[in-house]
Structure 1
Amino acid sequence: MLKLTRFQVMGFRSVQDSGWIETDTVTSLIGVNESGKTNLLLPLWKLNPAKDGAIVPLADFPRSEYSELRQVSQDRAFIYADFETDAELAIALADLTGISVDHFNVVRFTCRFDGQRHVTFPNAEPPRSVPAVDVRELLANVRGKIEKESGENVRRASMTTAIDGALRILADVDLVDRDALSNVSASLSEVALPETTSTSLSACWMALVEGIDDTMKRISMSHPNEREDARNLALKRLPAFVYYSNYGNLDSEIYLPHVIQNMKREGLGAKEEAKARTLKVLFDFVKLKPEEILELGKAAATAGAPKPSQEAITAAAERTKERSVLLQSASSRLTKEFRAWWKQGNYRFRFEADGDHFRIWVSDDKRPEEVELESRSTGLQWFLSFFLVFLVESSDAHENAILLLDEPGLSLHPLAQKDLSAFFDNLSRTNQLLYTTHSPFLVDPDRLDRVRAVYVDANGATAVSADLRAGKSTSSEAKSVYAVHAALGLSASNALLHGCTNVIVEGSSDQHYMSGIKTVLIGLGRINPQREIIFHPGGGAKGVAAIVPIITARDEAPPYVILDSDGPGIDFAKKLRSGPIYAGDAGKRITNIGDVLGGLQGAEVEDLMPHNLIVDAVSRTYRGEDEDFRDVAVEGKPIVPQVEAYASKHGITLDQGWKVELAKTVKARLLKTRELSPAIIDLWAKLFEPFSSPVDAVAGTKR
């Protein structure tokens, strides 16, 4: 299954250039109203919609360019999407093109305003040159064999002369391109071989010529981007996108003539089109046709008409009975399927048709009396409507569809929104998901790495950022991340009000690493914390001092503190232990990372991570011209100073928040890897043991 790793929107509605937006199994786009969040989801949907999703120039062209675009060829791309390929597709592309399978780890899809989609392979550039040393070695080896042959002196002389000429061509070059190799071939072509004679000398020469020809073919092969068969193969694997917004929520009473009319109409408004779409999938799902329900409901005669015959009365009764059976069957199917999908309530649905009207009635165990769907919560209306759109539109590629949810669950109670966030995690096991929101209850404080802030930049265009530091942002950007900071505030207040285990770390990067370790340990069953463990970034060693008294409750032991083993961290640990809060046994709640790592001086939280995992992340992010970080990184020494030294040596600028961005990358890979050594798991479990102990060492109370 292909996985969306990043996408970029260009010149679509309010978005001029979003830049590359990294995506995860679940990605949250947060921002205030009118920031353009919807305009980031719609281009993805229109890249490969499961259903509908046509490009509408009047709505989708940037308004400032509408008059220009509608008069010219609409071949401009508005969406670029990079997907990580699976092994099956990569192997198939490699077999088809002759290029190494490693080069097909990424496939890029684009879509233009004329609806044309294009496929490229960013990492599959065929070799256009080979090391000159390899060609020289081939020539020299053949020359040596020719000199050992006996007889045919004239021919042997011409062969060695031709090879010497080829070697002179390659004397001062490091790489051999097609032009140089053509000159080598021209030099070798001066040797004439008899047409019928087959000798070891001739065989030796032919092996040389074939070797040069094979090398020429290798550096002359067409780029996979130019191969229609390769592009079509990838295009067949492009996941479908299912888009859903609140506009499509079902009503309880549906007027069938309008449904039939709207399903056939074009040019409906956004709200009407979304409503018609949901009604269509409703009838598709329950295997009914609105025309059929309307026809079966026709009476035997209308008012003022002659008295109907007995046959007409009987036929009308049969139609009414058939409609009743159809509706009952459809109601049972919807009830059964929805219960299997949504576990938060035991709902029962009943369809009823009365003349031109179609109604949906709902009941459950807590409220057995039936009421209209519209009289139930808008949350239930949203879940039912989304359920229908998701299942029907993605039925052909259920496990591969990518879900795009626009402001999901806005009408839900805050606790239900938190349940919805957990529901998204479960759904992401089979379907990648992107959603927009401005609700802090739909932001998971433990997964801030998957949050992207959407805001309006100084030019009035939609912009996107993974930087969630409001204090460092523009006013508009700071407003967009308010939901994140509100979510963190809710998490912190929950820790204070409901007795979570509080752990203070020095910075945001440490928070990412520690929450990632917590998730892994719980998943492996190595810890079973009785209370939620919350990590609070202190903004450096000194910042910890301001947080400690705020978090420390009157009857609770002080929070745990994890500090680096650099100079400031060690000095501050001593200062805390000498103060009133951490005096005596409470001082045991302070940990320096170096103590956990066997006394490693200068150790930081980064050094708790698997060496290969963090080194690989650094290598992918920061590249020197002639030296890879993997080649110089030393295991067993603090990694942060090594990164800083490597960056300085190669003139690489490390941004102020580089440690946070690195932590996000490492945490994401940590949560996916299945190759963690028992030694590091034991190390983490030992570090976390005090946090997850059922009895507080200082307060002496059970948690």
Structure 2
Amino acid sequence: MLITRARVTNYRSVIDSEYFEVEPRKTILVGVNEAGKTAVLKALQSINATADTPPLDFLFDYPRSRLNEIQRGTKTPSEIKVAEATFALSDADRAAVASKVQLDETATITWHKYLDNDLRYSVYGFPSSPTFGDVTQDLIRLRSYLAAHDSPASLLTLLDEIGTNNGSEPLAGDVAATIKSALTTALPLIDEEDGKETTRWAKIEELASKGSAVSEAVAILRTRIPLLVYYSTYFTVRPRIDLESLAARQERGDVDNEYDFGNLCLLKLLGFTARELSSMASGPPTKPNYYETDGDVRKEHDIAVVAYQRKLDSRQYQLNAASVTLTKDLRRVWGDETLQLRIVADGQYLKVMVVDDLGVEVELDQRSEGFRWLVSFFVVFRSQAQDDLEGAILLLDEPGLSLHALKQQEFRKTISLLGEDNQIIYSTHSPFMVGSDELDLVRIAEMKDRAAGTKIHSRLQVDDPRSVFPLQAALGYELAQSMFSQKKNLVCEGVTDMFYLNSVNEASTAEGAATLKNSPAIIPAGTASKVAYFCTIYAGQSLEVAALLDSDGAGDLAAQQDALVALLPKKAVLRVADFLATPVSGAEIEDMFRTTLATIAKSLGWDSSATISAQPSRPIMQILSAEHGKPVSKWKLAKAFMTWIGTNGYSALTTDERNAWSKLTSAVNKAL
């Protein structure tokens, strides 16, 4: 069961976040400090939070500016929705309810969390539940029949109480259960020769059973809601753990969740309790007084010594295994192949040591905060992954902020690995926690003013430019890093051009189709007029370079620039129009994929399919802008295309689109 769409309302800084889509593996909330990212994550957690999470409390969780609404009685917590999340059902979920209802892949269930901590639901694609109105008349007639045949007063009273229900109320849950109970009592009182009444009884029973089947299926699905685990700062693993003290606190029930949680996770990872390790530290069994003279005592003691030695060996091997596992995790992110983590049992203390390339051992607290954070993260996650966090949805609030920028980039890969088994939503304001290839995963958290509250946008165009600064910085960093890293380089006009080229090239490579050879760097110049400058810089570094220009007015001017004409051979100045099967006047890169983009634009609310089909020689972006105006965004269209081709693959493009791509790759490969 995975979240596909979510919305947060009436929670702290969030008045109404509006609906936003959630990706199957990883979704990134990007926004400035105080934009409300934490509030969104914590509200979502309330759908199915861990046991130690405090329940919702209107005094602390309802927007403070509206608190008087509850205190005056204008509203009650039971009518205030805090969060809702729509879940797509897995094959296992559908199989779990197959005995109750048959569902196809389009069926979804939405869970609604209210401020009184009540969890309600709505469904899509489920069999429709009958309403009380469908059985009202039959119940009245059945009641009349039973009254005429001296039925018990308690049964008649129950039927009278049932009759007070609203006709539009679904025939499910408690209502259906009460009706079925009354029917069971009534059955022996109905003359089996009376076909009219037995048919009436069977009709009511069938509708009540049908209604209860949906509610029973929902009850099963409720037990299968993934745990939503919120992490703000990962619990710290202490460099030195006093085993006797921790064991005593556990036995007294005096464990401090914030202080001890990381330590308990480390012990869980090792497979020992604090008491077990503490007992081993007390030494081997003491030799009894009659050891030399009593054979039975000697035998019993020798067995105890062997068992103790075996426990010591087990401790050593398990500590070593955990050390190796954590070392591998750390090396993957930290990038130091000489790094080694050692977990050592030293008397009544369990110590976490770090060994450097010289073999020097230091305790964990002598390393940087970022390093300690990373160790704690892996300990907590590794220990929990096989239990509560297996299949859980992880809500990570500003992860990795104490890591160096380059380490954040590596940690981003770790989050992607975690996303293979756990759906992840994480927030950040760091440009190094967002990759240029992850823009389709980004949701912008924005708060223009406190009155409007936090909004979550799937589009990258927002009113506050600070909100998208991390994305701009991420793109700028990626561009700077890639500028001179490749021997072969293709300069295009804009960033969206780069998105199309990279996403289609990745999809075609995955299917073994036409692809750009030798992995050329694709560099957006920003505008057509700057293409010549970029090409000059690359040529000056003795790097191979080609230019891809739109076939519009700006592209024509750029192609005629003296610097570009003198610098590049004709075959290295590529024009989009040269690759199209049907000529388009002023063609842009979007026209290479115009049929697919017409469908995608329709899904975005810009339906111009008829015009695009009727005017094949007119640029698609010109058509969309003319018919839909300001809402049309090249960024949003390119982002949606990246998601589409990532899901559907290269082969889903039309034949003309694949042919255009094949011609383009052939021309680029020849030019470079």
TM-score (norm 2): 0.71
Deviations 1:29-56, CA, capped at 9 Å, x for gaps: 2233333322222233332246633435
- For residues 468 and 119 of structure 1, do their structure 2 counterparts lie closer, same or farther at Cα, with a shift above 3 Å needed? same
The aligned counterpart of 2:503 is 516
Amino acid at match of 2:42: L
The aligned counterpart of 1:290 is 274
Deviations 1:68-113, CA, capped at 9 Å, x for gaps: 6699545633221122333554577688446x73651x32222234
What is the CA distance between 1:62 and its match in structure 2? 3.7
Aligned partners of 1:31 and 1:438 also within 8 Å: yes
Q: Does 1:80 align with 2:84?
A: yes
The aligned counterpart of 2:643 is 668
- For residues 495 and 274 of structure 1, do their structure 2 counterparts lie closer, same or farther at Cα, with a shift above 3 Å needed? same
What is the CA distance between 1:324 and its match in structure 2? 4.7
Q: Does 1:334 align with 2:322?
A: yes
SS at match of 1:606: helix
The aligned counterpart of 1:359 is 351
Counterpart of 1:401 (choices 379, 388, 392) is 392
Amino acid at match of 1:46: S
Q: RMSD over aligned Cα, in angstroms?
A: 4.6
Counterpart of 1:281 (choices 244, 248, 265) is 265
What is the CA distance between 1:598 and its match in structure 2? 2.8
- For residues 667 and 231 of structure 1, do their structure 2 counterparts lie closer, same or farther at Cα, with a shift above 3 Å needed? same
The aligned counterpart of 2:419 is 428
- For residues 264 and 83 of structure 1, do their structure 2 counterparts lie closer, same or farther at Cα, with a shift above 3 Å needed? farther
The aligned counterpart of 2:226 is 239
What are the residue-to-residue correspondences of 1:633-644 with 2, within 5 Å? 634=613, 637=616, 641=620, 644=623
Aligned partners of 1:120 and 1:231 also within 8 Å: no
- For residues 262 and 456 of structure 1, do their structure 2 counterparts lie closer, same or farther at Cα, with a shift above 3 Å needed? farther
Q: Quick one: distance in 2 between partners of 1:254 and 1:92?
A: 44
What is the CA distance between 1:245 and its match in structure 2? 3.4
The aligned counterpart of 1:4 is 3
What are the residue-to-residue correspondences of 1:650-689 with 2, within 5 Å? 653-674=628-649, 676=651, 681=658, 683-689=660-666
Instruction: Identify which range, 657-666 or 46-55, moves more after superposition.
Output: 46-55
What is the CA distance between 1:489 and its match in structure 2? 1.6
Aligned partners of 1:406 and 1:435 also within 8 Å: yes
Q: Quick one: distance in 2 between partners of 1:296 and 1:94?
A: 51
What are the residue-to-residue correspondences of 1:440-455 with 2, within 5 Å? 440-455=431-446
Q: Quick one: distance in 1 between partners of 2:545 and 2:534?
A: 10
- For residues 442 and 638 of structure 1, do their structure 2 counterparts lie closer, same or farther at Cα, with a shift above 3 Å needed? farther
The aligned counterpart of 1:462 is 454
What is the CA distance between 1:533 and its match in structure 2? 2.0
SS at match of 2:10: strand
Instruction: Identify which range, 576-585 or 663-672, moves more after superposition.
Output: 576-585
- For residues 598 and 545 of structure 1, do their structure 2 counterparts lie closer, same or farther at Cα, with a shift above 3 Å needed? same
SS at match of 1:101: coil
SS at match of 1:688: helix
Amino acid at match of 1:607: D
TM-score (norm 1): 0.69
Aligned partners of 2:341 and 2:354 also within 8 Å: yes
What is the CA distance between 1:328 and its match in structure 2? 2.0
Aligned partners of 2:46 and 2:56 also within 8 Å: no
What is the CA distance between 1:331 and its match in structure 2? 0.9
What are the residue-to-residue correspondences of 1:383-422 with 2, within 5 Å? 383-396=374-387, 400-422=391-413
What is the CA distance between 1:668 and its match in structure 2? 0.7
The aligned counterpart of 2:565 is 582
What is the CA distance between 1:516 and its match in structure 2? 0.9
The aligned counterpart of 1:347 is 340
Q: Quick one: distance in 1 between partners of 2:35 and 2:265?
A: 30
- For residues 263 and 109 of structure 1, do their structure 2 counterparts lie closer, same or farther at Cα, with a shift above 3 Å needed? farther
Aligned partners of 1:259 and 1:290 also within 8 Å: yes
Q: Quick one: distance in 1 between partners of 2:18 and 2:643?
A: 21
The aligned counterpart of 1:38 is 38
SS at match of 2:478: helix
Counterpart of 1:562 (choices 530, 541, 548) is 548
- For residues 320 and 31 of structure 1, do their structure 2 counterparts lie closer, same or farther at Cα, with a shift above 3 Å needed? farther
The aligned counterpart of 2:28 is 28
Deviations 1:508-551, CA, capped at 9 Å, x for gaps: 5433322211322343455465455234263xxxx320454256
Q: Quick one: distance in 2 between partners of 1:551 and 1:275?
A: 57
Q: Quick one: distance in 2 between partners of 1:563 and 1:82?
A: 43
Amino acid at match of 1:555: Q
Q: Quick one: distance in 2 between partners of 1:253 and 1:389?
A: 16
Counterpart of 1:489 (choices 447, 458, 476) is 476
Aligned partners of 1:529 and 1:692 also within 8 Å: yes
Deviations 1:233-280, CA, capped at 9 Å, x for gaps: 433443233333334131212344664587699999xxx744433222
- For residues 488 and 375 of structure 1, do their structure 2 counterparts lie closer, same or farther at Cα, with a shift above 3 Å needed? same
The aligned counterpart of 1:108 is 110
Q: Quick one: distance in 2 between partners of 1:660 and 1:437?
A: 21
- For residues 623 and 486 of structure 1, do their structure 2 counterparts lie closer, same or farther at Cα, with a shift above 3 Å needed? closer
Q: Does 1:621 align with 2:620?
A: no
What is the CA distance between 1:639 and its match in structure 2? 8.5
Q: Quick one: distance in 2 between partners of 1:558 and 1:381?
A: 44
Amino acid at match of 1:621: L
What is the CA distance between 1:380 and its match in structure 2? 3.9
Instruction: Identify which range, 444-453 or 499-508, moves more after superposition.
Output: 499-508
Q: Quick one: distance in 2 between partners of 1:686 and 1:426?
A: 36
Q: Quick one: distance in 2 between partners of 1:68 and 1:109?
A: 25
Aligned partners of 1:263 and 1:280 also within 8 Å: no
What is the CA distance between 1:439 and its match in structure 2? 1.9
Q: Does 1:593 align with 2:576?
A: yes
Q: Quick one: distance in 2 between partners of 1:446 and 1:4?
A: 22
Q: Quick one: distance in 1 between partners of 2:11 and 2:640?
A: 29
The aligned counterpart of 1:189 is none
- For residues 49 and 86 of structure 1, do their structure 2 counterparts lie closer, same or farther at Cα, with a shift above 3 Å needed? same
Aligned partners of 1:242 and 1:390 also within 8 Å: no
Aligned partners of 1:36 and 1:462 also within 8 Å: yes
The aligned counterpart of 2:48 is 48
The aligned counterpart of 1:186 is none
Aligned partners of 1:26 and 1:450 also within 8 Å: yes
What is the CA distance between 1:282 and its match in structure 2? 2.0
Aligned partners of 2:5 and 2:21 also within 8 Å: yes
| Gaps in structure 2 of 5+ consecutive residues | 131-167, 169-198, 292-300
Q: Quick one: distance in 2 between partners of 1:394 and 1:74?
A: 35
Q: Quick one: distance in 1 between partners of 2:28 and 2:417?
A: 15
Amino acid at match of 2:616: K
The aligned counterpart of 2:160 is none
Q: Quick one: distance in 2 between partners of 1:18 and 1:605?
A: 34
The aligned counterpart of 2:181 is none
The aligned counterpart of 1:135 is none
| Gaps in structure 1 of 5+ consecutive residues | 129-177, 179-209, 301-306, 698-703
Aligned partners of 1:513 and 1:667 also within 8 Å: yes
- For residues 362 and 109 of structure 1, do their structure 2 counterparts lie closer, same or farther at Cα, with a shift above 3 Å needed? same
What is the CA distance between 1:286 and its match in structure 2? 1.6
Aligned partners of 2:606 and 2:624 also within 8 Å: no
Aligned partners of 1:610 and 1:676 also within 8 Å: no
Identity %: 23
Deviations 1:318-367, CA, capped at 9 Å, x for gaps: 99968755642431231243356555246342232443x43222336x34
The aligned counterpart of 2:363 is 372
